[in-house]
A and B are shown apart, each in its own frame.
Chain A
Amino acid sequence: MASGCSNVTDVGTVSSRDAVDYLLGIARTQSGKAAGEAIFPITIADSVEVTQNIYSIVKDESRPNEVRGKAIFWLGQGAGGGDYLSSLYTRVRSEELKDKIIFSMSQQKDAASQKWLVDLVSNESESIENRKKALFWAGQTGTSMQQLTGLYSRMDEREMKDQMIFVFSQRQERVAIDKLMDIAKNDKDRDARKKAMFWLGQSHDARVSAFLTDMLNR
């Protein structure tokens, strides 16, 4: 092996189990950057089930949010993390960690996680900010336009309606433009109609100019 820095001690190949145990020790006990950075190599160790261990780090309120946030992120990147994450959401008190859980749930991309996001959007006991984040990520990931339009029809809060209109504007599909046109034309809420018009103006859809012209000629 070529010689490198004289301060490097190469201990060679160790078992995945031993490596994971050592790294978990850092993540569970140390503070600072190293504790958070120990989590990623844990998740890529071969043949060692680590989800439960990472879950326990997230639950441990004595650990810094930075470390718990990293653990949440890597739970979200692995298949099957959704159940852990959804159960964590109601337990954590930190808004920063709730935000990370919402994002990590969106990365699961399975039906159950999508449903969890949609349920959070509809849950009026949750803060508007978290519901808006859930809506944003639901719109960015697998939630269908049918589900989103269903949500819109049940929404009364101005901020949520605005966020939904924005979410429609970010969907690169014809049916989303159809929905924005419908809102611009028929919504009873003047501000919603104006917002929909704004986003139509920003879209690339070739039908928009004719639609807006028609609206102006009515």
Chain B
Amino acid sequence: MNITRSASIAVAASLVIVASTIPAGTEAQNIARSVASAGTGKVRFTYLARPDLCGYNNSISRGGNNRMSWSSDVAPDVEYDHDCSKGPVRMVLYVDGGRVSKIRTYVGGEWRPATNGVTDLGAISAKDATDYLLSLATTDAGAVGRDAIMPLTFADGVVVWPRLFTLVRDENRPLSTRKQAMFWLGQAAGEHVAGKVSFAKDDDATEVKKSAVFALSQRRNSEAVPSLIEVARNNHDTEVRKSALFWLGQTMDPQAIGLFEEILGSRN
């Protein structure tokens, strides 16, 4: 009996904590409540993915390239019957004691049958999903906050950049989370300048120039950031500009943040 009472207190306490950190959206609140009441288990939901994304097992491809993989294992939560499966985004929140302890992101495929301890929230709006993920990114001090960034950039029809700029500039957030936000801002800026070009050029001049961009990115004390910004703004080769934006996304330089804002701002 004592155990049951303690567990109830723990859940109630979790709900109080969650209620103080989540945004106002109904479905976002619903996710947070489900997490808090899940105790230990998994909470899963889906939302609309950008059309240029496809997934297979633990990898996600963007625009026909830029494959992101995090393990070669078979996905434990999702099954696939072909190797480039379009949306939705499938989120699995691993919950421990009413708190999210790990996040896994998939695109496409089908859920594996739910087992005990899995709470399936079904499809929710991309807006509410990003609100919830952003609440994790802005409150969790560990890997969960960092890992919440990538899936929120996958949502279709939701502009997340302004909130990511706020996060990048927030020195109270962990550096790993801010760096992750910066990386995805760099990716987004690169995609923006590349427009609809989704194939990689393979001529000598481009390859050598991309090496020069990398070499510049390795210069000490950010001495080459102004040069990288100049390349990102004005180089006539889109691939080279994209490369400069990628490497600027590895810095936390305020000038680079300003450039990303300038590029992505025109999307809003």
Q: Which residues of A contact B (CB under 8 A)?
A: 184, 190, 193-194, 197-198, 200-202, 204, 208-209, 212-213, 215-217
Contact = CB atoms under 8 A, between A and B. Distances in A.
In this complex, the member of B211, B216, B218, B227 whose beta carbon has the largest number of chain A beta carbons within 10 angstroms is B211
B209 A193 contact: no
A85 B142 CA distance: 59
A213 B230 contact: yes
B219 A216 contact: no
A197 B227 contact: no
Contacts of B204: 190
Interface residues of B, number: 21
Interface of B: 204, 207-209, 211-220, 223-224, 227, 230-231, 235, 240
B213 A216 contact: yes
A163 to B, nearest CB: 18
28 contacts: A184-B212, A190-B207, A193-B208, A194-B207, A194-B208, A194-B211, A197-B208, A198-B214, A201-B217, A201-B218, A201-B219, A202-B218, A204-B220, A209-B224, A209-B227, A212-B212, A212-B216, A212-B227, A213-B216, A213-B227, A215-B208, A215-B209, A216-B212, A216-B213, A216-B231, A216-B235, A216-B240, A217-B235
Nearest to A208: B219
B202 to A, nearest CB: 11
Contacts of B209: 215-216
Contacts of A215: 208-209, 212
Given A193-B208, A198-B211, A216-B235, 12 more contacts: A184-B208, A193-B211, A194-B207, A197-B212, A197-B214, A198-B215, A202-B215, A209-B216, A212-B215, A213-B227, A215-B212, A216-B231
